[in-house]
């Protein structure tokens, strides 16, 4: 697994500091990132009061919990600072668990903020242990002033030294962000629970002892009931204990929305999303299909990434993003001149380079920037890289009827059937997952070869 080190430098530690008239100030130190005005060392995104300070403090802690968690191996927990994005009308806080099985996002909406304009850009924010302790003691009636970034040009710690953290950035972590966006883009709203039912359900969902078990939840009136079999409308709850950090916000919850893909009785596991509604904000946890199974290997974006020109089209779309909180693929197609299929592939490429996420409540993509090089997309995806190597080696031979192909890999010959919308292969990967974790490298290689053949035929006909 490829691993880079991203060094973040904060001008001083984040802290809750006393202010005048009993008001406290939540001062969050920022480090680098990208903004609409370039790449300042310590960008400033917002300054103003929080309309619901206790709920906001609890939600920030929940996102920080996920950043410090590794649910499959508690003894291997490590802490990654959350990423904050200003989209002009909201502040988004994002984190991913170290095991890549849980994605968390807090959307602090305009109605939850009472201050100046919200900036545009993405940055890391320092969340340290003293800050976590201070946030845990914020009460409902405690006025809290939020600063994301400082107005001061140069602020240092007491001893004059900057706060520096070296954060390991693995390819697996970035693939997790990309896969979570690609997977949730195919979700639908399955259930919406009012406050009382939402609180009751969530308290039982992460009850100690359930641990890694998987159950299916079926909408039943104003609540959800467990069922042993998947069926239309059901949502998979894999490892409900991974929702445990949502207990921080239960007393502030006004409702719960549950999202998932279409399923039938043949489905065994699936991802799911759990969105807690709070005053002026939303807190969303997305769970991988199984406890201990990370999003990084799901392969939902691989087919689109295999498209010829996805990177070129992605760079074209990148110039149109402008930190928008809602990106409409149809509008992007009109503005860019690309076909809907090209836009889909370009969005997958942008997701794989950490530059877009997906908001279920808005059913739209949004712009943000993670500290990765866009040119490393292929390197971040070993299956895609292996498929391109097979194509370059001439290992793919298409059948004359176009409905199949043979792929020679490591001395073995595999058959790939292309008649269906989802290619099937005779390799062990396909036998094990049956397409449940995306295409295998052989099917990807065939897809790339077929697309190249179609493009070549078009050029000849012209």
State yes or no: pLDDT of 98 exceeds 80: yes
Torsion, Cα of 420, 421, 426, 431 (10° steps): -110
| Statement: residue 29 has pLDDT above 80 | yes
pLDDT score of 3: 55
The pairs formed by 260-265 with CB atoms below 8 angstroms and a separation of 24 or more are: 260/187, 260/188, 260/190, 260/234, 260/235, 260/236, 261/183, 261/186, 261/187, 261/188, 262/188, 262/232, 263/230, 263/231, 263/232, 263/234, 263/236, 264/230, 264/231, 264/232, 265/229, 265/230, 265/231
The set of residues, in sequence order, having a beta carbon less than 8 Å from that of 11 and lying 6+ positions away, is 29, 41, 42, 150, 152, 154, 155, 156, 162, 163
* Torsion angles phi and psi, residue 104, rounded to 5: -125, 140
Q: Which residue has the tokens 């921080």?
A: 248
Radius of gyration of the chain (CA): 23
Strand partners of residue 50: 113
Q: Is 107 helix (H, G, I), strand (E, B) or coil?
A: strand
pLDDT of residue 64: 92
- d(CA 445, CA 386) in angstroms, rounded, equals 8
- pLDDT value at residue 4: 61
Q: What is the per-residue pLDDT across 226-239, written as a single tens digit (0 to 9) for each? A: 888 888 889 999 98
Rounded distance, CA 257 to CA 273, Å?
A: 8
Cα angle value 99/211/170 (rounded, 5°): 0
* Pairing mode of beta strands 24-28, 144-148: parallel
Dihedral (C-alpha) 129, 135, 276, 292: value to the nearest 10 degrees? 10
pLDDT at 421 over 80: no
Q: How far apart are CA 16 and CA 26, in angstroms?
A: 4
Percent of the chain topping pLDDT 90 = 44
Rounded-to-integer distance, Cα 248 and Cα 300, Å: 31
Tell me the average pLDDT of the chain.
Answer: 85
Mean pLDDT of 288-301: 83
3-168 is classed CATH 1.10.1060: no
pLDDT > 70 in the chain, percent: 87
> Encoding tokens for residue 359?
């908001």
Amino acid 37: pLDDT: 81
Tell me if 323 sits within 8 A of 317, measured CB to CB: no
Predicted pLDDT of residue 205: 76
* Intrachain domains 3-168 and 301-380 with the same fold: no
Least confident interval from 51-60, 73-82, 383-392, 450-459: 73-82
Nearest to 115 by CA among 141, 152, 146, 92: 146
283: CB partners within 8 A, 6+ apart: 59, 62, 63, 104, 105, 106, 107, 246, 249, 275, 276
pLDDT score for 159: 40
Tell whether the torsion through CA atoms of 252, 259, 81 and 323 is positive or negative: negative
Residues 359-413: tens digit of each pLDDT: 999 999 999 988 766 556 666 678 888 999 999 999 999 998 878 899 999 989 9
Tell the residue number behind the tokens 């308290």, with chain if given: 203
Query: Residue 248 pLDDT > 90, yes or no?
Result: yes
Of the segments 210-214, 276-280, 313-317, which one has the largest average pLDDT value?
A: 276-280
48: left (phi over 0), alpha (psi -120 to 50) or beta: left
pLDDT at residue number 162: 58
pLDDT at res. 317: 93
Domain locations in the chain as residue ranges: 3-168, 179-294, 301-380, 384-462
CATH code for the domain defined by 301-380: 1.10.10.10
Helix (H, G, I), strand (E, B) or coil at 70: coil
By residue count, the chain amounts to: 462
């Amino acid at each position: 697994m490829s691993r880079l080190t991203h060094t973040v430098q904060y001008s001083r530690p984040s802290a809750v500091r006393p202010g005048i008239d009993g008001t406290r100030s939540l001062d969050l130190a920022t480090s680098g990132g990208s903004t609409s005005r370039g790449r300042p060392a310590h960008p400033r995104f917002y300054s103003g009061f929080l309309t619901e300070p206790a709920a906001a403090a609890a939600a920030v802690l929940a996102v920080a919990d996920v950043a410090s968690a590794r649910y499959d191996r508690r003894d291997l927990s490590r802490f990654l600072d959350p990423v904050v994005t200003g989209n002009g009308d909201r502040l988004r806080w994002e984190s991913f668990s170290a095991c890549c099985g849980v994605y968390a996002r807090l959307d602090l909406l305009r109605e939850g903020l009472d201050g100046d304009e919200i900036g545009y850009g993405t940055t890391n924010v320092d969340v340290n242990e003293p800050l976590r302790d201070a946030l845990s003691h914020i009460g409902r009636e405690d006025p809290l002033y939020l600063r994301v970034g400082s107005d001061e040009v140069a602020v240092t710690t007491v001893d004059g030294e900057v706060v520096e953290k070296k954060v390991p950035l693995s390819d697996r972590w970035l693939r997790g962000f990309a896969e979570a966006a690609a997977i949730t883009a195919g979700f639908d709203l399955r259930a919406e629970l009012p406050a009382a039912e939402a609180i009751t359900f969530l308290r039982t969902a992460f009850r100690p002892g359930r641990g890694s078990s998987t159950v299916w939840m079926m909408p039943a009136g104003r609540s959800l009931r467990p069922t042993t079999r998947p069926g239309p409308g059901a949502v998979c709850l894999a490892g409900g204990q991974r929702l445990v950090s949502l207990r921080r916000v239960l007393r502030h919850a006004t409702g719960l929305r549950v999202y998932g893909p279409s399923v039938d009785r043949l489905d065994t596991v699936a991802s799911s999303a759990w969105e807690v509604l709070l005053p002026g904000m939303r807190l969303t946890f997305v769970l991988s299909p199984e406890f201990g199974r990370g999003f990084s290997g799901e392969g939902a974006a691989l087919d689109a990434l295999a498209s010829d020109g996805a990177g070129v089209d992605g760079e074209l779309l990148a110039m149109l993003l402008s930190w928008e909180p809602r990106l409409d693929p149809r509008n992007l197609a009109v503005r860019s001149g690309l076909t809907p299929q090209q836009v889909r592939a370009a969005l997958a490429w942008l997701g794989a380079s950490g530059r877009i996420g997906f908001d279920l409540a808005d059913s739209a993509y949004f712009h943000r920037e993670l500290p990765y090089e866009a040119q490393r997309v292929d390197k971040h995806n070993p299956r895609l890289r292996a498929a391109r190597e097979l194509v370059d080696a001439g290992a793919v031979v298409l059948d004359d009827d176009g409905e199949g192909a043979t792929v020679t890999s490591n001395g073995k010959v595999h058959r790939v059937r292309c008649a269906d919308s989802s290619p099937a292969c005779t390799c062990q990967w396909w036998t094990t997952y049956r397409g449940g974790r995306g295409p295998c490298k052989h099917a990807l290689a065939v897809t790339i070869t077929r697309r190249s053949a179609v493009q070549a035929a078009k050029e000849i006909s012209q």
